[in-house]
Homo-oligomer: A and B are copies of this chain.
Amino acid sequence: MNVQVKARPLPQPANQSKLATADCDIHPQRASDKDLHPFLEKRWIEHMQMFGSRPRQAYQSGPAYPKSQPFASRRDAWPPGGRPGSSLPFLREQLLDANNCVLGVLNATGDNGQSFQNRAFGAAVCHAMNEWLIAEWLEPEPRLKGSIVVPYEDAEAAVAEIERYAGDPRFVQVLMLNRTSEPPGQKRYWKVYEAAAAAGLPVGVHAFGFGGYPVSGGGWPSFYIEDMVGHAQSMQSFLTSMVVEGVFERFPSLRLVLIEAGFAWVPALAWRLDKLWHRLKAETPHLKRLPSEYIRESVWLTTQPMEEPANRAHVLDAIDWIGWDRLLFATDYPHWDYDDPSHVLPLPVPEAKRRGFFLENAVALYG
């Protein structure tokens, strides 16, 4: 491990023997709804107590979690007296210190207001989430940085939330979910991307969401594993829409981070887009370049859940196509399908690629 110690760009006092890491998908949870009360108007506190969140589809009929692992969490991730992901001291010890994590990106995805059907209530909860992130996580722990929770189905409200925190160094990203009400490249969402690009913030798009459709075009699946596999198809359609609608042409400085939906599917999708675009470019005159060029230039991907083919060299082939500078290590803590940094790379890789994968790509992207 000496090579890693020598090469570590940001030396840490703890865990001298370990490579420093950035963790680009950590899920903080509120211990209860009361955590948001200081940041909500009285009317919304009462609304929350009376009506709840009312997303378009119940968790159990769409992005379900295995019931045997409550909150989709690791069995060892329960802090004393609270639910997984709700205790900063516990998270510091179990995640940040243990992994020598020097940069952790907080994606507060749970029941966060983003797709509440009552859009005004949703926007209020998104804002409360951001204030809660600052108060409970970002101020006390400088290793942690936040993704701004935005009510993207109401683009104007989302823009207001982005502009509120633009330039705040505690936030490094704008957070969306992948299953939007309509395809995410469509005009109704452009203001969100414009505002994020103007603020110099990447848009992080996390798997799951509440568009109201089944995870794939095939209809409502029988099994949890189909929903989990389906995140990859769902993210393919997200990226397709973003490319084909010309979002990257309109906002060339926009950077997109695809979170928790794998990455090995990217080459095949890009080939298909390129081939069809060669023949159909008359339909989309707003596109000036090959679809794959927009993807290579503007898209990053988090690594968890890491692809694990039987022939482990295959995953490195996929990364070669995508670019070693485009992958961002992530654990998905505290969720059950957590990836451990000491096991995630299937084969030895050269030191420069390894450092990029675990830390430097994230530092370059998030600053």
Contacts and interface: CB of A to CB of B under 8 A. Distances in A.
A3 interface: no
A222 B245 contact: yes
Interface in A302-326: 305, 307-310, 314-315, 317-318, 321
A217 interface: yes
A235 to B, nearest CB: 9
Chain A contact-residue range equals 35 or more
Given A225-B283, A265-B268, A217 B220 contact: no
Interface stretch (A156-164, A176-184, A195-203): A176-184
A232 B280 contact: no
B218 A307 contact: no
A271 B66 contact: no
Contact of A217 (B186, B229, B230, B245): B230
Contacts of A181: 219
Nearest to A277: B225
A273 interface: yes
Interface in A172-220: 179-186, 211, 213-220
Given A220-B183, A264-B271, A310-B292, A226 B240 contact: yes
Contacts of A284: 223, 225
Contacts of A337: 279
A233 to B, nearest CB: 4
A326 to B, nearest CB: 16
A318 B270 CA distance: 14
Contacts of A185: 222
Nearest to A245: B222
Contacts of A307: 268, 271-272, 275
7 A-B pairs closest in CB distance: A216-B237, A264-B268, A218-B237, A233-B233, A265-B268, A271-B309, A182-B219
Given A214-B217, A216-B237, A229-B276, 13 more contacts: A180-B219, A186-B222, A217-B217, A218-B238, A222-B245, A223-B284, A225-B284, A226-B240, A228-B276, A228-B280, A229-B273, A275-B305, A317-B317
